[in-house]
Structure 1
Amino acid sequence: MWRRRASVLRRTGTVGTALGLTIGSVLLTGCGEARVRADDDLCAQYGQLVERLDSLDGVDPDTVAVDELRSQVDDVQQQLDAFQAVAEGRLDTLVSTLRAAVNDLVLSATTAGEDALETARPLLEDSLDDVREAWATVQQVADVRCDVP
């Protein structure tokens, strides 16, 4: 009787192991696809962020109006939020540094206002340089992650 139970257990164990391996491989395949989708989302958001920051990079601090700069910075901040949401902590420090530089840029422009903007233009240039520097660091990491040549 013990032999019969042992034989049944061995067969059940083999079937159970095979079933477990099959289920495990299906789950891992799903996880792999989820990772690809998450990376695709990251790269899609990154592409949109590139567009927004390229637009901001085209700003001439000697001629830009405060409202125009504020609008562009708002666009960058919204896209930065979307990018950080899909980055899932992978780029938090770099994105936070970029966000601080963008916030400083808008603060420089709005604190000065249109009337005092002429005297604040060198500060705007410095703030834009800080944004460019922080952005270059994010780009280095994201280009590798998204396989950008």
Structure 2
Amino acid sequence: MQLHTPRYLPLPQIFGKIVDVAASGTACLILNDAGEVFVWGYGILGKGPVVDKSQEPTAIPLTLFGCNEFNPDGKVVSIYGGLSQFAAVTNNGDLYIWGRNRFGSLGLGHLDNQFFPIKVNIPGYVKKFCFGVDHCVALCKSYV
């Protein structure tokens, strides 16, 4: 959907209370108060290499953000969007990132695009995050 003027976009109650939003050049994310992340648009959406478009918000599985039987209380608390990538920070201060990895801009140690959220190895608690055109930066609190 292309919009050139602001317009109210009602979302069904099934998404819960929306607490954060993020957008890339071709997709949008919403985060609800339960820590669930929903994505729609086209490009690398975070749901694997096969899913590259969605007209309606669909959930990204919580397990991709580290919520599992070993970390049942883990949840996403903030989301960020760049030109062609997204990131999420959890209540544990972990950074998960996905999208186009131009020039290794996702900080993963390789040049391949990342098709689903993956934890970035940062020796600290991520407090704030931001994307540039071909880079990203995280403000962290050291564990030491």
User: TM over 0.5, yes or no?
Assistant: no
| TM, length-normalised to structure 2 | 0.24
User: Which is richer in strand?
Assistant: 2
Which of the pair is proportionally richer in helix? 1
Which of the pair has more CA radius of gyration?
1
TM-score, normalised with respect to structure 1: 0.23
Bigger relative contact order (CA 8 A; separation at least 6)? 1
